Structure 1
Amino acid sequence: MTTTAYTLAIVLDLLVLFIGARFLLQPRPAAAAYGVPAEGEGAGAYLAVKGLRDATFGVMGLALLAFAGARAEAWFMLIVALAPLGDTLIVLRHGGTKAVAFGIHFATAVVVLVSAALLFAV
């Protein structure tokens, strides 16, 4: 179970780091994949904020796992699950599809919570 817990945590941390980088490097396609396309000139700043937030979450998760251990990473995962839960509501509230809201964002929150549970069990 330890290998599974660590592997899932690392994969999730790297995935959110990748998502953050994509929002920084390809903001409009990343926003469309998020479920709510970005429109208008000011959207670029908000997309950069999202990219920086996600990249920071990924780096923080990796650092916690490497330097503080599984328990600290478990608490981090438990708390960070709020982001995809919030993303679910944002997509639904702003005209995104239920498939994206639940199939991507809510499902991500569930996987992050499973990761937290596995890490707590280690």
Structure 2
Amino acid sequence: MLTTLAYGLALAINLLCLVIGANFLRAPYAAAAGYGVPAETDRAYLTIKGLRDGTYGLVGLALLAFVGAQAEAWFLLVAALLPFGDTLIVLRNGGTKAVAFGIHFATAVTMLAGAALLFAV
């Protein structure tokens, strides 16, 4: 049961990274608004964010599929720094606390929980 939960959560996190990355590549301005800091220019930076998030999703999936739970756990532990940073970015740039904590901080905590579960299996 724990193994299924750990792998399921890791899989969901990685797939959501791919979805977020694709959203930033497909509709960057709408995705930026959903991120919590609307952008009216800087399409290049929004594209970079899409590539970053998508790549993290692919790396996570590759680790999970080809290396195993321990490697994915370490990856999630380190990668949780990104949504913690996103929390601060949203707060420092006029975004709402609801988005900062409800999306980004919650994502970081979920990633840490996923890492803990993977370390336990």
Establish whether TM, by shorter chain, passes 0.5.
Answer: yes
Equivalent in the alignment of 1:22? 23
Shift of 1:11: 0.5
1:45-104 Cα deviation digits (max 9, x unpaired): 000000000000000000000000000000000000000000000000000000000000
Distance 1:75 1:87 in 2: 20
Does 2:4 match 1:12? no
Distance 2:68 2:88 in 1: 31
Identity of aligned residues (%): 70
Q: Aligned ranges for residues 25-40 of structure 1 at < 5 Å?
A: 25-40=26-41
Gaps of 5+ in 1: none
TM-score by length of 1: 0.97
Distance 1:38 1:52 in 2: 17
Could you tell me which amino acid in structure 1 is paired with residue 9 of structure 2? L
Could you tell me which amino acid in structure 1 is paired with residue 16 of structure 2? L
Gaps of 5+ in 2: none
- Number of aligned residue pairs: give it: 120
Q: Aligned ranges for residues 100-119 of structure 1 at < 5 Å?
A: 100-119=99-118
Distance 1:39 1:46 in 2: 11
